[in-house]
Amino acid sequence: MSKIKVLDKHLQNLIAAGEVVDRPSSIVKELIENSIDAKAKHIIVKIKNGGLDEIVVSDNGEGMSKDDLALAFLAHSTSKITQAHDLNHLTSLGFRGEALAAIGAVSNCEIISSDSHGSYIITNKFGKISKIEAQSRNKGTTVSVKELFYQSPARLKFLKSVDYETALISDLIQKFALSNLDINFQYSSNDRVVFNSPGNNDLAELLFNIYGSNIYQRLRKLEISNYDFIIKGYISDSHYSRSNKTGINIFINNRLVAANSLIKAITTAYSDYLAKGKYPLVILKVETDPQLTDVNISPTKWQIRISKEKNLNDLLISGIKGVLKTQSEAQLISTINSLEVNEYPVTNIKKEEVKQEKVVYQQLQLNQTDIVGIEPSTLELKPEVIGQAFGKYIIASCLDELWLIDQHAAQERCNYEKFRQAMLKENPPVQIINLPPLEVSLSHIQRLKEINEKLAAINIQFEEYGVNKLLVRSIPLWISQIDVEAFLFDMLEYCCNSDKEIDITEIRKATLASLACHSSIKFNEILDINLQKALVNDLLKCENPYHCPHGRPTIVKLSDKQLAKEFERG
């Protein structure tokens, strides 16, 4: 066996860099954390080409003295803790003293800092630290990072597209702005200002600014506490959902953390209100005694260990459920008040859904002729529709059978087949539709090129329209018969979730799933007898009328014989 050697400092820093600064966004994270720890109230972040060409973070914080600056690039040099005891009482974001050393090991990094007694510059080029020299600057610090990973080709290869890396940084900066309401963040990418937070302590204004008015309207305030934890923030109501968890933002003592158990608690609280695979938008700040948390469990400080975690989870679940319950009760009362009693005897329904879905259904019937592949056997059947039960099932009799038809599953099947036929047509007619611009997130705008490339497969194209908005330029004609907006949001999320190339079959599958969902009659929806008949009629024209696209049955049949047995008639 070869002899054990102690690795030289540069090699140690390179190894640390592998964990601490694995991509441009983690460098931005470390630099912003340093600025926040230096009590800056104004932080400017500039990136070029997703941070690969340049990252500059400037602040108006306390700055560093000449002596401190001389030590800043050395590993394990920190001003934030001095003894083991401090680790249990952390109030700063940094404490490991390894970020600047790691960044300097993998880039050409320069720091200019002034603590108002003097201002100096120091550089670290791939581990070679320069002498300190005088350089003028106002109080505060500027760190610039260039030639990132030039000497670590393996790391470069691991990075995704420039658009993807830019989107990660944009998302991160918005999250910092959400957790530091008193700081003005100014962020520009390729010399264009893309985000400027007000820094006026107004969370509501910032949420409006980041998410736009439509989503803002869907947010509800949550404030709840127990002996150990205070939770404050906003959560989306049951009318809003996303296809991934990136909208769940949790800050513990102002630190953005990836707390899987809390995310699980949040999804549990929403499970009665959102479909499976759908997630809310959540911005929650948890305050607790630092002694109850341990952030020193991963170099990137994303992970956190919380004592009394179950206690926190329970508080979170009951708080969220309480808000959602109040919202749905308020909605039910307004629905009941606005319904004419004789018209809708069953009141367990949502008014908006009834209105919207009926229109959709009527539109669908106009295109019945699109459905091909009709099975003569089911077409020959002429069931007699008797009525609807519980706002869920259509009851019909056919020859010697009684049918119970799941109205939601049935319509999903009809829509699925109709859309599939339309989608598979070559050169489907495309229309320029007149939808109002969609308010989207910054990452959607920044990944627009990639999104358009992916969605070209289904003839959908977007165009940038002002700040945080996208205009739909083209969409296949047949798609416009559904809740187009909800469908387009689904597709944007889908494209942004997959950074790899998606093949056309996958895009089509995702499209069909979203379309079938956004156009189907809901459970708990009253249908008049004509709509009931039309739905059964359409179902029987399907290629596979007996199962919904997810494989669940659409019709349960009870034969006369079975019924006779149940009634003990011999």
Q: Which residues bind ligand ADP (CB under 6 A)?
A: 30, 34-35, 38, 59, 61-64, 68, 72, 77-80, 94-101, 141
Q: How far is the CB of 169 from Mg ion (least distance, A)?
A: 17
80 contacts which partner out of Mg ion, ligand ADP, none, CB within 5 to 8 A by kind? ligand ADP
In the beta sheet, which residues pair with residue 476? 430
What are the CA-CA distances from residue 75 to residues 11, 55, 97, 130, 539 (Å)?
11, 21, 6, 15, 69
Q: Are 386 and 436 in contact (CB under 8 A)?
A: no
- H/E element, 180: none
User: Does 61 sit near Mg ion (CB under 5 A)?
Assistant: no
Q: How far is the CB of 111 from ligand ADP (least distance, A)?
A: 7
Q: How far is the CB of 65 from ligand ADP (least distance, A)?
A: 10
Binding segment (CB under 5 A) for Mg ion, from list 28-36, 266-274, 296-304, 353-361: 28-36
Segments of 54-183 assigned E as strands: 54-59, 108-114, 119-125, 128-129, 133-134, 140-146
**In the block, which residue shows the tokens 């603590």?**
115
455 contacts which partner out of ligand ADP, Mg ion, none, CB within 5 to 8 A by kind? none
Cα separation, 355 vs 358, whole angstroms: 6
Q: How far is the CB of 111 from Mg ion (least distance, A)?
A: 12
Nearer residue to ligand ADP within complex by CB, 77 or 378: 77
- What percent of the residues of the chain are helix, what percent strand, and what percent coil, each to the nearest 5? 45, 20, 35
Nearer residue to ligand ADP within complex by CB, 62 or 165: 62
Q: Give the residue nearest to ligand ADP (CB).
A: 94
Name the residue among 280, 176, 289, 179 with its Cα closest to residue 230.
289
**In the block, which residue shows the tokens 């003839």?**
459
Nearer residue to Mg ion within complex by CB, 109 or 360: 109
User: Does 320 sit near Mg ion (CB under 5 A)?
Assistant: no
Q: Are 490 and 482 in contact (CB under 8 A)?
A: no
493 contacts which partner out of ligand ADP, Mg ion, none, CB within 5 to 8 A by kind? none
Q: How far is the CB of 90 from ligand ADP (least distance, A)?
A: 10
Binding segment (CB under 5 A) for Mg ion, from list 59-67, 92-100, 204-212, 491-499: 92-100
Q: What are phi and psi of 292, to 5 degrees?
A: -85, 0
Q: Give the residue nearest to Mg ion (CB).
A: 94
Q: Are 408 and 520 in contact (CB under 8 A)?
A: yes
Q: Are 13 and 105 in contact (CB under 8 A)?
A: yes
Structure tokens at 33: 């954390």
Q: How far is the CB of 446 from ligand ADP (least distance, A)?
A: 26
Q: Are 383 and 396 in contact (CB under 8 A)?
A: yes
User: Does 113 sit near Mg ion (CB under 5 A)?
Assistant: no
166 contacts which partner out of ligand ADP, Mg ion, none, CB within 5 to 8 A by kind? none
78 contacts which partner out of ligand ADP, Mg ion, none, CB within 5 to 8 A by kind? ligand ADP
Structure tokens at 135: 């350089």
311 contacts which partner out of Mg ion, ligand ADP, none, CB within 5 to 8 A by kind? none
State which of positions 31-60 bind Mg ion (CB under 5 A): 34
Cα separation, 381 vs 497, whole angstroms: 44
Q: Are 24 and 52 in contact (CB under 8 A)?
A: yes
Q: How far is the CB of 190 from ligand ADP (least distance, A)?
A: 23
261 contacts which partner out of ligand ADP, Mg ion, none, CB within 5 to 8 A by kind? none
Centre a 10 Å sphere on the Cβ of residue 515 and count the other Cβ atoms it contains: 27
Q: How far is the CB of 114 from ligand ADP (least distance, A)?
A: 10
Write out the residues near Mg ion by the rule CB under 5 A: 34, 94, 99
